Amino acid sequence: MALLQSSDHPRQPEPSEAPDSPGSSDTSVDVAGLRELLDGRYAAVRDQVRRTIAEHADLVDAGLRLSRDDYRDQVRDVIVDSAGTGAQAHGFPEAYGGGGDVGASIAAFETLALSDLSVLVKSGVQFGLFGGAILQLGTERHHAAYLEDLIGARLLGCFAMTETGHGSNVQALGTVATYDAVTDEFVIHTPDAYSRKDYIGNAARHGTVAAVFAQLDVDGERHGVHAFVVPLRDEQGQVLPGITIEDDGPKIGLNGVDNGRIGFDHVRVPREALLDRYATVDEDGTYASPIDNPDRRFFTMLGTLVQGRVCVGAAGISASKVALTLALRYAEKRRQFGTPGSGTEEVLLDYGLHQRRLLPLLARTYALHFAQEVLSDQLHGIATARSGGTEPSDKDQRALESRAAGTKALATWHASETIQECREACGGAGYLLANRLGTLRADTDVFTTFEGDNHILLQLVAKGLLTDYSTNFEELDQLGMVRFVADLAVETVIERTAVHKLLERVRDVLPGDAGRAPDAGLRDPAYHLQLLRWREEHSLSGVARRLKRGIDAGHDPAEVFGRAQSHVIHAARAHVERLVLEAFVAKLDALPADDANRAALGALCDLHALTVIEADRGWFMEHGRLSSERSKAITREIAQLCREVRPVAADLCDGFGIPEELLDVEMLRQATAAESGIA
């Protein structure tokens, strides 16, 4: 039973309540109901994946006991086995053995991330990236030729985009595909070492074909980056002539994934190898595309592959769930110190500092779960419309890409922070590989740069926000941001419209703290949302003013943007944090008033919101939105919420539905034995 305030959320505390008083009533968590809420409409899909990963639970320590090649082969075997259950087919068309449900595909991937992350990443390469390229960039002939074998894992492929010298800057890729009209073939060539395809999953050992991204050259004219299907190995697994493949070597983590470097020496593929949904080259060498603008064509192509970014964020959230479950279970059993003279040591989770370290992270994990749910639904809607022949509007596509980028950035940073904190909270036990936390930390470390460096992704978020100021701002990279700044000197869009309207809107959006009691309304979601919305709008308008002011002063656009970058990132992060909180509040509002978990989730939501505000309280105080007294009250309220959440922390983790086979680690077995008085 938990000491949680049981009245309906939102709630403002009575003035007579002391900030450190216990909760007003006992409330327990209905674990089954909580799991049903978290699983959502794809509970059956998630349960199917849970059964598969429970059967292969021994894989989570395979990297400790197997050679690298054996580990990679075992990961491949799990991928093939999983494909046989249909768990990887959800997002593909029914005509080729799929389920036609992108939402189910994301739910399956998210659940798979509770297990060995090498399996997750190799699965993501095979079905998400390689499969996604064939499905989204190819046409019917490519679907007929590859999808059925791809879905069944009989054809293992690679997604060859990243190059040694070109990471996030995809438009500048060096690999070239030149059309030869005499032979009706494309010639794929790597002109220098910087243009090698690098860090390509499935390349070093198992991949037999790749979706290769290259600059298309037709009769001496460049048409930008396009994708081609290029065979890598023959049926015996031998690398084909003209292709060089090297192993990237041991990595910090994810060593069950065979990342490799690929070079092409004038490798010829038929004209039909071009994935031609957005561009074609006919036999005579005539290039045609339904999208005339090359920049718009490029970003439309990349936009169709946004599912990979959505899935990486989901994986980060799942990894956080595993780490928190391990750390909180350990903290409920491991005893240390205690009241002098009592003769009894205290469990770790009864210490206020231990609560403060872990429980806000648990609250943020819940918040991100619900935000990810909104994002997945958004992607599912667009994918469903697209499969029915309806392309999304530019506005809807931009909104999806922006939300995917921002959620991925916050979710993967959260995973890194959470797993590290959980590792430290478990002391020496957390440092043992047998207890999973070290492996989780190593395997998720790359998530912050997977599918785009997080700082670059937040610039993409800012780009989406600033698009409201200028219809000509379309590029996502830093050069595009600089071009946008330069355009302001001519467009003066900001001066004419957006900023003035924005400032009028935000001037009265939130009253100051003058006259407000320090503790009043601290558990009011409307207050939390007002603060985050005001911060977002003020930050964004400030960025816009800085950019225009720099241009009006005659400064170089690159210099102007460089000086404003920290403000750009702050505005983007403020935007995404507002979306995350809105998702949590909306989920609470949708619960029935008598829901058994409403009080617990309400406390988590308050804890998350106040922690976000506290983390940026310097900014809020600088801008007159928090008094020092209220800032101190927020810190006290966070401590009180941690005390209230503490009795149900384990139940809240149980709601994640992580198979027990994946939580059977040495430190928990030892702590349980000690708790039972067994040496």
Q: Are 221 and 178 in contact (CB under 8 A)?
A: no
User: Strand ranges (DSSP E) for 124-266?
Assistant: 157-160, 176-180, 185-189, 197-200, 209-218, 221-231, 243-247, 260-264
Please state the separation of Cα 60 from the chain's center in Å: 22
**What phi and psi, each to the nearest 5 degrees, are found at residue 427?**
60, -140
* Cα–Cα nearest to 518, from 604, 605, 640, 637: 637
Dig out the tokens for 471 from the structure.
């219809």
**Annotated catalytic residue 495:** no
Q: What's the CA gap between 453 and 126, in Å, rounded?
A: 21
Active-site entry in 373, 401, 421, 451: 451
580 and 368 in contact (C-beta within 8 Å)? yes
Measuring CA to CA, how many Å separate 661 from each of 55, 114, 176, 664? 8, 11, 48, 5
Q: What are phi and psi of 358, to 5 degrees?
A: -105, -35
First-residue to last-residue Cα distance in the chain: 30
The CA distance from 515 to 280, in Å, is 67
**C-alpha dist (Å) from residue 25 to 5, 22, 350, 593:** 6, 9, 19, 16
- Residue 382 to residues 91, 306, 329, 420, 460, Cα–Cα distance (Å): 13, 11, 40, 36, 20
Signed CA dihedral, 468, 474, 476, 477: sign only: negative
Which residues does the annotation mark as catalytic? 451
